[in-house]
């Protein structure tokens, strides 16, 4: 049994990632190009790779899509980085043994409700990033996780100057209320080599995730529920835990 790791898979072949340009597409067909078994994240999976896919693979802090392929539940979708920027393999994983032949046509169905939930929490992460950066200019976002129910955004600063939790909560509350009222457009800009997300007048941010395309779709409330500050070896970081309510 081979473990699928970035170190072992140096292939620069990549399936067409349809979700990047058609994230409203929840059903399509594809051709199986490879099948296998692997230990991924301490679990044994049966997997297939396709010539194209609508399944978002876990990465960038966003959970993978779930759904079905030929009505067989897809339990997890794994991203295998090639070492070359923006080139990666997409491995569709099944917990139970599968019977897909290389070259066969299959029907893909993404769970649309689950995708929408992940897209709302992921888009909310961008909004939190913009609000914090706009309000507390010393802090720049540098990552985080947008798993529904346990999401946080991380920020770093070059100066030892942290806002209080109350100030962060007020900034998010007021900033989001303003955005809800303005309801600016959210769009993907693919003019440069990098796919970028643009929310209203905020600067573009490079992103390969899935999104909703209006602030209202994120939800009625976006709340900073916790703030953790850290000073380590001259590095000043702040983690803002957030919650989204529909």
User: Of residues 181-200, which lie at the interface with Zn ion (CB under 5 A)?
Assistant: 197
- Is-contact 75 66, C-beta < 8 A? yes
Is 144 or 209 the residue whose CB approaches Zn ion more closely? 209
Instruction: Check residue 17 for interaction with Zn ion (CB under 5 A).
Output: no
Q: Which of 4, 207, 240, 244 binds Zn ion (CB under 5 A)?
A: 207
Nearer to Zn ion, 131 or 207 (CB): 207
- Minimum distance from CB of 71 to Zn ion (Å)? 30
C-beta neighbour count of 179 within 10 angstroms: 20
Least Cβ distance, residue 148 to Zn ion (angstroms):
15
Rounded CA separation 58/90 (Å): 9
Instruction: Give the residue closest to Zn ion by C-beta.
Output: 207
Q: Which two tokens stand for residue 164?
A: 């209080």
Burial class (CB in 10 A: 0-12, 13-18, 19+), 217: middle
Give whole-number Cα distances, 242 to 29, 96, 153, 162, 219, in Å: 37, 35, 8, 18, 13
- What is the smallest separation between the CB atom of 234 and Zn ion, expressed in angstroms? 30
* Nearer residue to Zn ion within complex by CB, 170 or 196: 196
Q: Which is nearer to Zn ion, 196 or 221 (CB)?
A: 196
d(C-alpha 125, C-alpha 146), whole Å: 6
Which of residues 171 and 197 has its CB atom nearest to Zn ion in the complex? 197
Size of interface with Zn ion, in residues (CB under 5 A): 3
Min separation Cβ 153 and Zn ion, Å = 12
Question: Using alpha carbons only, what angle is made at residue 131 by residues 163 and 174, rounded to the nearest 5 degrees?
Answer: 85
- How far is residue 129's CA from residue 173's CA, in Å, rounded to a whole number? 13
Give min distance, CB of 121 to Zn ion, in A. Answer: 11
Q: Which is nearer to Zn ion, 197 or 227 (CB)?
A: 197
Q: How far is the CB of 95 from Zn ion (least distance, A)?
A: 28
Shortest distance in whole angstroms from residue 123 CB to Zn ion: 7
Judged by CB under 5 A, which of 38, 209, 224, 240 binds Zn ion? 209
Residue numbers at the binding site for Zn ion (CB under 5 A): 197, 207, 209
């Amino acid at each position: 049994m081979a473990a699928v790791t970035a170190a072992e898979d140096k292939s620069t072949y990549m399936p067409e990632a349809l979700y990047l340009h058609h994230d409203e597409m929840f059903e399509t067909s594809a051709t199986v190009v490879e099948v296998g078994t692997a230990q991924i994240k301490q679990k044994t999976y049966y997997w297939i790779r396709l010539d194209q896919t609508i399944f978002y693979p876990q990465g960038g802090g966003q959970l993978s899509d779930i759904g079905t392929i030929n009505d067989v539940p897809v339990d997890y979708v794994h991203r295998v980085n090639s070492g070359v920027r923006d080139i990666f393999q997409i491995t569709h994983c099944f917990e139970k043994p599968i019977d897909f032949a290389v070259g066969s046509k299959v029907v893909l169905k993404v769970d649309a409700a689950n995708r929408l939930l992940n897209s709302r929490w992921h888009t909310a992460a961008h909004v939190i990033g913009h609000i914090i950066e706009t309000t507390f200019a010393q802090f720049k976002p540098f990552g985080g996780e947008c798993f529904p129910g346990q999401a946080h955004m991380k920020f770093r600063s070059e100066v030892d100057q942290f806002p209080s939790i109350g100030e962060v909560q007020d900034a998010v509350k007021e900033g989001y209320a303003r955005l809800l009222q303005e309801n600016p457009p959210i769009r993907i800009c693919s003019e440069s080599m990098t796919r970028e997300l643009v929310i209203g007048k905020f600067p573009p941010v490079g992103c390969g995730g899935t999104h909703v395309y209006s602030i209202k779709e994120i939800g009625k409330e976006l709340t900073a529920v916790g703030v953790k500050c850290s000073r380590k070896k001259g590095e000043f970081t702040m983690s803002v835990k957030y919650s989204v309510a529909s």
